């Protein structure tokens, strides 16, 4: 038994590739941890969407 299918309007199937240095990655990881984000990806998505609003 797998997990329930994701509804179409919530499905994330697009990728944004961003090249980072090791130092930049560490900065983002620390920020996501400080924010108690569920994951780095979730924190980056939320931060980018907030900046775009």
pLDDT tens readout for residues 4-47: 888 888 888 899 999 999 999 999 999 999 999 999 999 999 99
Which helix (H) or strand (E) element contains residue 9? none
Contact 20, 13 (CB under 8 A): no
Query: For position 4, what pLDDT does the model report?
Result: 87
Query: For position 41, what pLDDT does the model report?
Result: 95
Sign of the Cα pseudo-torsion (13, 48, 42, 8, in order): negative
Query: For position 42, what pLDDT does the model report?
Result: 96
pTM: 0.79
Query: For position 8, what pLDDT does the model report?
Result: 85
């Amino acid at each position: 038994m797998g997990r329930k299918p994701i509804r179409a309007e919530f499905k994330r199937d697009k990728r944004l590739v961003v090249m980072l240095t090791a130092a930049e990655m560490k900065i983002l990881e620390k920020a996501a941890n400080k924010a108690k984000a569920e994951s780095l990806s979730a924190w980056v998505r939320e931060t980018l969407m907030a900046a775009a609003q």
